[in-house]
Amino acid sequence: MLPVWFMRQAGRSLPEYRELRVGTRMLDACLDPALASEITLQPVRRHRVDAAIFFSDIVVPLRLAGVDVDIVPGKGPVLASPVRTDSDVAALPVLAPDALAPVVEGVRRTVAGLAELGHVPLIGFAGAPFTLAAYLVEGGPSKDHIRARTLMHADPDAWSALMAWAADATGTFLRAQVLAGASAAQLFDSWAGALSLEDYTRHVAPASARALSHVRDLSYPDPDRRTDPVSVTPVERNVPIVHFGVGTGELLRAMHDVGADVIGVDYRIPLDEASRRLGNIVPVQGNIDPSYLDAPWPVVEAHVREVVERGRSAPSHVVNLGHGVPPQTDPGVLTRIVELVHGISA
């Protein structure tokens, strides 16, 4: 049966989430273990998706490291002091392991809750180094990330140091989630689509590979092969890594080359074309267009069936959206999509 889950499935489209969040700021919710766990579990209970994605935010590692950042409603992450010089980079605080305690506790609570729902796997979540760096340099959201791209070319040494810091911060954050019980890891690059292939491979890919190196060595016992019949030793599998980016159709192969096992594909490129660019040998995730979710059901169904059909060109396919669930989405539509995908694959 084809697995299906949705990016941003935990959160603003659910009435139970909105009720739970009343009076609590976004980053405070992310760092409250009980609250983050409950929010993560809500869509699994409602939609019966095949995986949970840990409720967090791209800038959580920045906050845990001591960077003055907040999420402003209606605007997004905003930093008190942008990072734009080599001295700014040198002053960035290191993310201490003890600071990750609320995240570790939140993951552990979530894994326990998922076991009660039928051992649904949990996917750890972190923002990719370029996206973190873009927020740090811009000081907030940006349409073109011109300041970040300018620093990349104008001061390569400062840029390299910033990317190394971001890679270690987000890699440490992701590793903590996996060690606490997450079964897979997703690195999410919101802004990589602003880059040329040359800029990505030269100035960004090494940092993404560095971030993933924090989890690349982690493994788990294969539940289908507890022991090797010849050596009678436990069979270990690497923790799967998903790499997703927005507007990254031209970067797919380079994104895979940084050390990912699965490539998430956004809605801008047909899934079979994405698989072709990856040599038809890489598992893919995606890529239902979120704009369809508010269309009449026959239109939604036809689109989902097309995505599933195009996904057959890849060695395996995790059905998902090509970006996050819009806040105005009717949750009932997501539940019907899960039922449809399971019915098609069954």
Residues recognised as catalytic: 8, 12, 21, 57, 135
Nearest-Å Rg of the Cα atoms of the chain is: 20
Handedness of CA 243, 249, 252, 254 (dihedral sign): negative
The residues facing 237 across adjacent strands are 220
- CA atoms in the 13 A half-sphere facing the CB of 306: 13
User: 220-241 as b/e, with b when 16 or more CB fall inside 10 Å?
Assistant: eeeeeeeeeeeeeeeeeeebbb
Taking each continuous run of H as one helix and of E as one strand, the counts in the chain are 15, 11
The residues facing 219 across adjacent strands are 238
Give the torsion through C-alpha atoms of 126, 274, 261, 326, to 10 deg: 30
Which H/E stretch holds residue 334? helix 331-345
